[in-house]
Amino acid sequence: KKEQLQLLASVESVTKDGYQMTLSSNISSVKELDMALKHGADGVGLFRTEFLYMDRVTFPSEEEQFEVYRQVTEMMGSRSVVIRTLDIGGDKHLDYFSLPEEDNPFLGYRAIRISLDRKELFKTQLRAILRASHYGKVKIMYPMISSVEEVRLANELLHESMSELDTRGIQYNHNIQVGIMIEVPAAVAIADLLAEETDFFSIGTNDLVQYVLAVDRMNEQIAHLYHPYHPAILRMLRSTVEAARNAGISVSVCGEMAGDERSIPLWIELGVHELSMSPQSLLRIKHRLLNTAAEEEKAVAKACYKLHTNTEIQKLLDDYHHSHR
């Protein structure tokens, strides 16, 4: 079975009736990129850069970061690489950067909030990413965005970083695409406004589910309440994709749901054409896409939107998935 799946690595991901899906990989390291390439990733949809900052004693320098970003970019050739700026806080910590004790770390000093507070730290990373953009198709992505102001502030710092590189005479892609993660409910509610300020959306379902349902994604005691197929989530997915479509920007999905076969009807019915997932999931999802018809998937999703509970929706998607194997 594994060998058979491996044969699909170079096959284009398209349903029997012609619905194309770009299957990208989430990576945290060059080692994971090797696996992604082996499994035929069409791009890197989420480079989680926090791992560059972990297991060390100081923040990585611009030069150190640039080397890694450039390596990943060059390894991907003409395929795109979405580099997410630092997303520490919440469950991820750095030994050398002591964050205050917080009662609610997931509602606290985290991700873009840290970047906008620690501007030099942020600009160091932005310069490293910009420099890598000279070597391939790099895009920048901001995590945990909850307001238009945050996007504007981050972009101001991006422009400062660009000017600094200009002064140093260093090359980079001046038209680099800049997108945001949609993973906070407020971002879904103002997706139309955010879409005017950004080039793309990537839906981070891991955090989105946590924040929409008020269920800590790390707390095992309430893990049974963590419901990606809750009707509230389905509605949020729809309004995000519609806002992106109305504004003419692209939208992908990069949370764990993207690597779950049961979600495929939802993506196809919404008109999503890019999923980013762990390298281990790529071939499994591709296999499923090759063996289905978009029209059939859409009908299943339409039925989901008529149901009132997570239990019913999950059962419908489960049954449909099993009938497919």
Selected from 62, 150, 207, 274, the binder of ligand PEP by CB under 6 A is 207
Question: Of 40 and 228, which CB lies nearer to ligand PEP in the complex structure?
Answer: 228
Tell me: does residue 32 bind ligand PEP (CB under 6 A).
no
The answer to whether 288 is annotated as binding is no
Q: Give least dist CB 207 to Mg ion, A.
A: 4
Amino acid at 295: E
The terminus-to-terminus CA distance of the chain in angstroms comes to 13
Question: Of 255 and 279, which CB lies nearer to ligand PEP in the complex structure?
Answer: 255
Dihedral pair phi/psi, residue 239, rounded to 5°: -70, -30
> In the beta sheet, which residues pair with residue 182?
203
Q: Give least dist CB 175 to Mg ion, A.
A: 27
Selected from 204, 228, 259, 265, the binder of ligand PEP by CB under 6 A is 204
Do 160 and 124 form a contact (C-beta atoms < 8 A)?
A: no
254: annotated active-site residue: yes
The answer to whether 84 is annotated as binding is yes
Question: Of 136 and 255, which CB lies nearer to ligand PEP in the complex structure?
Answer: 255
Dihedral pair phi/psi, residue 41, rounded to 5°: -55, 135
Residue 254 binding target from Mg ion, ligand PEP, none, CB below 5 to 8 Å by type: ligand PEP
Tell me: does residue 216 bind ligand PEP (CB under 6 A).
no
Residue span binding ligand PEP (CB under 6 A) among the ranges 8-16, 118-126, 129-137, 202-210:
202-210
Residues 205-244 binding Mg ion (CB under 5 A) are 207
Tell me: does residue 29 bind ligand PEP (CB under 6 A).
no
Do 135 and 73 form a contact (C-beta atoms < 8 A)?
A: yes
The answer to whether 217 is annotated as binding is yes
Tell me: does residue 204 bind Mg ion (CB under 5 A).
yes
Cα atoms found within 13 Å of the Cα of residue 157, Cβ hemisphere only: 22
Do 245 and 194 form a contact (C-beta atoms < 8 A)?
A: no
Q: Is 12 left (phi over 0), alpha (psi -120 to 50) or beta?
A: beta
Take residue 243 and report the two structure tokens written for it. 């806002």
Measured distance CA(209)–CA(194) in Å, rounded: 20
Active site residue ranges = 254
Q: Which residues bind ligand PEP (CB under 6 A)?
A: 46, 48, 87, 183, 204-207, 254-255
